[in-house]
Amino acid sequence: MSGMRIFESGLQPERTLLAWRRTCLVLGLGVAVSIRFGAIADPLTALLIGMPGLALVGAAYALTSIRYHRATRALMNDPAAAISEGRSIAAVTLVAVLIGLAAFVFVVSRSEVVSRWTSTAS
């Protein structure tokens, strides 16, 4: 029983890596689409919001690979190792919030209520 290994390389860490990569790719696509449709209303704002979002998605994608390699190394050395880093999660959360804010600004700026309110205020 003492020779039994708890950790088998390629199982849980690799599935987690692939899941995070899929998440980052979908978020990147969402940011790109937001830039594309946001540019219709205001190209500068779309780029100012979208480019940092794309950079964060790229950073999260890179961090997932780094985390995978660290986790695999740690589990190879100590199968009971607990690894907890939240940078990837924070980056993906920040991008999701930016996409939501950009969508909110886009919808509100195109709203008839806002356009009527600004025309009566002038």
Domain positions in the chain are 12-121
Q: What is the pLDDT of residue 22?
A: 94
Q: What is the pLDDT of residues 1-58, one digit of tens each?
A: 455 555 565 567 788 889 989 999 998 998 899 889 888 888 888 888 889 889 988 9
Rounded to a whole number of angstroms, the distance between the first and last alpha carbons of the chain is 81
pLDDT at 83 over 60: no
| 102 Cβ contact partners less than 8 Å away, ≥ 6 residues apart | 34, 38, 46, 49, 50, 53
